[in-house]
Amino acid sequence: MLTFIIRRLVLAVPTLLFISLVLFLLLDLAPGDPMAQMPLTIPDEVKQKMREALGLGEPVHIRYFKWLYQFFVVEPGYFLDWLFGTNMMEGTQRVVSWQFRSPVFDIIVQRLPQTLWVVALAYAVGVIIAIPIGIISAYRQYSVFDQAGTLISMIGFSVPPFFSGVVVIVIFAVKLEWLPSIYDTTHVVRDWESFKVQLMQMIMPVMVLALQTTAQISRYMRSAMLDNLNQDYVRTARAKGLSEWSVVMVHVLRNSMIPVVTVIALGIPSIFGGAIITEQVFKVNGIGQLLITAIQANDIPMVQTITFIFAVLIVFFNLIADVLYGVLDPRIRYD
C-alpha cells in the first residue's frame, strides 16, 4: 500500500503541472485588461507602470514559473511560519490579488470558514442521509419507501441550486418567516444563543446543497446494493445461518461501498462548484462568491489560484478513494 501511495503521489506531480499550465495559459490568453476599470483620466504611462508593478510586463513563461513557485513554496512557507511562530518567509514576494491589492491566500483564508460552515455540513448531512436511504431502497425494492426515495432523487437531480435556493427562500423566509433569507457573514459564534442564530441561517443553504448530494449518493448506494444482494456469497451467508442484519450490514454493505466511495470522495471538490451558485443566492461571503467577483473584476491571480485549488482537491481525494478500496476489499492489492 505504501508503494502504491508513493507511486500515485509521484504521478500526481506531472498531472498537476499539466493542469496548472493549461489553466494559466487559458486565463492569460483570455480577453480583458486589469486596467480597464481604472479612471480614464489616468495617463497611459501611469497605467503601463501599474502593469509592470503587477508583473504583466514579463514573458508568459517567467510569470508561470513565478506563480508555481509562489503557490508551492512561498505560501506553504508562510503557513509554516504561522504554525511554528517563525519569520523565515518575511519579505518574500507573494501572489497579490489585482482587485483587493492583498495576498491571494490571505483573502482565501478569510473567506474559507464561511464556505466550510455551509459546504462541510451540507456534504456530511447529505452522505449521512443518502447511505441509509440507498440501503433500505435496495433491500425493499419497489416498496413505497423505494418509490419515495426515487422521487426525491429525481427532484434533486433535476432542480438546479439557483432555482431550489429561490424556492426555499420564498417558502421558509418570505411566506412562513421561519428562517432568515440572507446569510449574515459578520455573525460570530460566542455562546449558545449565537450558535442557534448561526444554525438557523445555515439551514436553507445546507438544505439546498445536501439535496443534490443525497440524490446522487443514494442512487449509487441503491444500485451497488442491488448488484450484491443477488450474489452467491449472500446466499451462502444466509445458508450458514447468519442473521439478516449481519448479511446485509456486514457482507453486502462492505462490498457495496467500494463504488460509492469513489462518488463520495470525488464529490467533495465538486460540491464547491455547487457552493458557487448557492453562495450567490444566499449571499454567503465565501470562496464561491469570491470566485464570481474575481471573474467579474478580471482578477486573474485570484481566479487561477482558486481554480487550481479545486484541481488539487480532485487529485487528492482521488488518491484517498483508491486507498479506501484496499481497506474495504481485502482482495484488492496494489503492491
Distance CA 71, CA 151 (A): 45
Mean pLDDT score of the chain:
81
pLDDT reading at 53 higher than 80: no
| CATH number for the segment(s) 104-328 | 1.10.3720.10
Given a cut of 60, whether residue 334 has pLDDT beyond it is: no
**Each residue's pLDDT tens digit, 304-325:** 888 888 888 888 888 887 777 7
Instruction: With cut-offs at 50, 70 and 90, classify the pLDDT of residue 133.
Output: very high
Summarised one tens digit per residue, pLDDT across range 247-300 is 888 888 888 888 888 888 877 777 777 677 777 788 778 888 888 888 888 888
Q: What is the mean pLDDT of residues 200-216?
A: 86
pLDDT at 132: 92
Count the neighbouring beta carbons within 10 Å of the beta carbon of residue 192. 7
Listed by start position, the domains of the chain span 104-328
Mean per-residue pLDDT, 211-215:
87
Name the pTM for this structure.
0.78
Mean pLDDT value across residues 181-208: 79
- Alpha-carbon gap, residue 181 to 280, rounded angstroms: 12
pLDDT recorded at residue 253 = 86
In the predicted structure, residue 335 carries a pLDDT above the cut 60 = no
Whether the per-residue pLDDT at 238 is higher than 70: the answer is: yes
Asked if residue 33 has pLDDT above 80, the reply is no
Beta bridge partners of 103: 96
Residues 6+ apart with CB under 8 A from 215: 130, 152, 153, 154, 155, 156, 157
